Each structure stands twice: as C-alpha cells, then as structure tokens.
Amino acid sequence: MSPKISVIMPMYNVEKYVGLAIQSLLNQTFTDFEAIFIDDCGPDNSLQIAKSFNDPRIKIIENEKNLGATGSRNRGLDIAEGDYIYFLDSDDVMVSTCLETLYNVAKSASDVEFVSTINSLHAIDSEFQSLDNVKCKVTKAGIMGNVSSDLKQRIWEEYANHKIHCAVWLSLFKRSLFNGETANIRFKDFAIADDDFFLFEVLCATSKIIKIDKPVYIYRPREGSITKSADINRIKRYLPAIASGAKFLEDKLLPITDDPLFVEQIKLKVVERLFNVFIMEYYTKDKFNTISALINAINDNSESNNAFLKTLITAFVKQNLNLRELAAENTRLKYTMKSIKENVNKMITF
C-alpha cells in the first residue's frame, strides 16, 4: 500500500545539520510516510549520516553527478508514491506535529491540492545541537484569507504580493500536481528563487488551496546560505537568473491570461521582490560603488530583460535619499541614473 505522504529531502554538504533534520522527521506524530533522501554528491559525511538511521520508511538515492537542490527534488518527485508531497530542507527541522497538521487540514475538505501555512519558526540560535533546546521566534510570512478561484486574482494577490510564502517547506502538495492528473510541475533551475517559480506554477494549476496559521517548521538562518552571502561575482550569477525568471513568468502567463499589461505588472512585482532579497543584500555603505558594480554587472548580462533590472535599481535609487544626494554631487552616478531611466518600460510608473 502506498504511503499517505512522500517527504523529499536533498542532501549536500550538511553533515552538521542533516542528522537533526532526519530525527525531526522520524519523530513525527504522523507516521504513514516514506522518506526520500537524495544525496547530491557532497564532499562530506551527509550520506553516511543518513545511512546510519535504520528505518524501513527511508529510501536513499545517490546522484551520479551533482544536480543541485532543483534536480534532486525532481528526482524525488519522479519516484514518490505518496498521496501528498512534502519537501524538507536538510539543514532545518520539522515541528513534531508538522505532517499531522498539514495532512489533517488537507483531508478536512474535498479535493484540496495545496495546504500552506503563513507562519514559520526561525531558530534564534541556528547552531542548536538538540531538538529539545531549540529557541525560536515566530515569523509571519503571509496573510490569512480565502484564495481566489479566479486565476488572475490568485496570481496577483497570493503570488505577486507574497501572501503565500514561496518556501515549499511550509506546504503540503497533492501528488496530482506532479504526476499528470492535474499538472506535471517540476522545479526549474534559475540559480536562485526556484521555490518562487515552482509556487507560481502551482498557483496557475489549482485554486484548491487552504491557508492555515500554524507553525510547522523551524528554519535555520545560517550564515553562508544564498540569502546571507553575496559578492559581486555571485550577484553577476543572480542577475541573469532574475532576468530569465521574468521571461519565464511572461511565457507561462501570456497564453492563459491574454493580458500583456497584467503580465508586465506581475513580472515587475515579483522581480522587484527577488531583486531586493538577492541583490540588495549586497548593498553596502559604499553606495556609489555598489550601484556602479550592479550597473556594470547588468551591462555584462546578455539576458533580454535587462530593462527590468535597471528599472529596479532606478526605483531603489529614487527612494534612497543618500543616493539622490550623492547623485547630485557625482556626474558619473547622475549620468548612470539618467541612462537607467531611459530604459524603463513606459507602462511602469513609480
């Protein structure tokens, strides 16, 4: 008999954390699950730690080459047998009632395909060594309320305005979204924000959604994670990812909405959020050099959506008093700002 839930967890270079992640899964009050761990060719002992757990519900897949979290999650989806899918990150932990809470909500209404909580717990000490001494703060990541059955309203309210958190570990998904019954969604590799674009496709595929207000997951905000580390070389990799993400939204939305202005609004709203999270982390006290480096990185980027990125920098500069004052005194920055503004889409105003 197939399990009720398949829990998919990629592993790469997480030997300090993966043991507690696995323990938190095995400690679940809901027990009818399979655990699919995908080792992504990491250089440490994560695989050996996973193999040390003797539980018949565990399946360990060893990638022949590094696929990243995106490819590893997709491998898990390809072999999952559960009625529902849950994604666990190997450096975080689950609240003991996580699966029970999400599953009971999913089964409380007919045909629910997506259950998401707007709350998460963030560990105050990300280096905790035991599940018994975790200290957390509650972080609200969305807004409670009904999810619209209208596609455009749903995409705008829930996705563009971030009322449902993009992190897949806050949600339980019906496998019908991935096996062709409702849709055949897979993670796309954008280098950053894969969860964002995955969620976008889920919201395009279904309105059978329930949002709850119960924290089920403990996130470790570790130094060295994508959103906590940035240098200009990393930023240069992020910029084309954000630009290609905007193109992805356009390609997916235009055939089903036939509303170019709506598509432009969605693209700008989402890309602005990603830009602020992944790019402006690089924002430093040396504001002029930061903006100049970003402009140079954009000019080096061959993606067709550079105008979007320049639009976002313009918006940031316009809202930042110190930069405006600096621009008034600096001919090069003033010229840069003028050049950016000339590339702004005429439909977009600030």
What is the rounded CA–CA span in Å between residue 4 and residue 226? 32
Q: What's the total number of domains in the chain?
A: 2
Question: Which structural domain, as residue segments, surrounds residue 162?
Answer: 5-219
Residue 178 forms part of a structural domain:
yes
Same domain, 190 and 236: no
Q: What is the pLDDT at residue 190?
A: 84
Residue 70's pLDDT is: 94
pLDDT value at 344 more than 50: no
pLDDT band at 104 (very low <50, low <70, confident <90, very high): very high
Same domain assignment for residues 13 and 52: yes
Instruction: Choose the final residue of a domain: 190, 219, 248.
Output: 219
Residue type at 230 in one-letter notation? A
The pLDDT of residue 300 is above 90: no
Shared domain for 284 and 171, answered yes or no, is no
User: Of 219, 240, 270, which residue sits at a domain end?
Assistant: 219
Whether 169 and 143 share a structural domain: yes
Q: Kindly state whether residue 145 falls inside one of the protein's structural domains.
A: yes
Q: Using 50, 70 and 90 to split pLDDT, how confident is the model at 311?
A: low
More confident residue, 280 or 264: 264
Segment among 214-223, 231-240, 289-298 with least mean pLDDT: 289-298
Residues 205 and 244 in one domain: no
Q: Are residues 195 and 250 in the same domain?
A: no
Q: Each residue of 275-300: b (16+ CB within 10 Å) or e? A: bebbbebbeeeebbebbebbbebbee
pLDDT value of residue 239: 75
Which amino acid is residue 82, in one-letter code?
G
State whether residue 221 is helix, strand or coil.
coil
Single out the residue in 191, 219, 247 at which a domain terminates: 219
Q: Average pLDDT, stretch 242-251?
A: 86
- Which stretches does DSSP call E strand in 51-162? 58-62, 84-87, 93-94, 114-117, 119-123, 136-140
- Tell whether 325 and 237 lie within a shared domain: yes
Do the beta carbons of residue 211 and residue 147 sit within 8 Å? yes
Burial class of residue 308, CB neighbours in 10 A (0-12, 13-18, 19+): buried
Same domain, 201 and 244: no
- pLDDT at position 292 is 63
- The span from the CA of 142 to the CA of 181, in Å, is 28
Question: Looking at residue 75, which CATH number applies to its domain?
Answer: 3.90.550.10
In a domain, 139, yes or no: yes
If asked whether residues 135 and 282 sit together in one domain, one would say no
Residue 288 and residue 168 share a domain? no
**Residue 349 within a domain:** no
Q: Give pLDDT, residue 259.
A: 87
The verdict on 245 and 159 lying in the same domain is no
Residue 224 domain-assigned? no
Residue 164: pLDDT above 60?
yes
Contact residues for 52 (Cβ-Cβ < 8 A; gap 6+): none
**For residue 242, is it within any domain?**
yes
pLDDT at 238: 78
Domain assignment of residue 320, yes or no: yes
Query: What is residue 321's predicted lDDT score, i.e. its pLDDT?
Result: 46
Q: How much is the pTM?
A: 0.83
> What burial class does residue 30 get, using C-beta atoms within 10 Å of its C-beta: 0-12 exposed, 13-18 middle, 19+ buried?
middle
- Averaged pLDDT for residues 204-227: 83
pLDDT at 171 over 70: yes
Same domain flag for 254 and 200: no
Residue 268, CA distances (Å) to 41, 261, 264, 307, 349 in order: 36, 11, 6, 10, 11
Q: Between these two residues, 237 and 173, which has the higher pLDDT value?
A: 173
Mean pLDDT, residues 164-181: 94
Percent over 70 (pLDDT), the chain: 76
What is the per-residue pLDDT for 308?
Answer: 58
More reliable by pLDDT, 193 or 339:
193
Structure tokens at 243: 């630009």
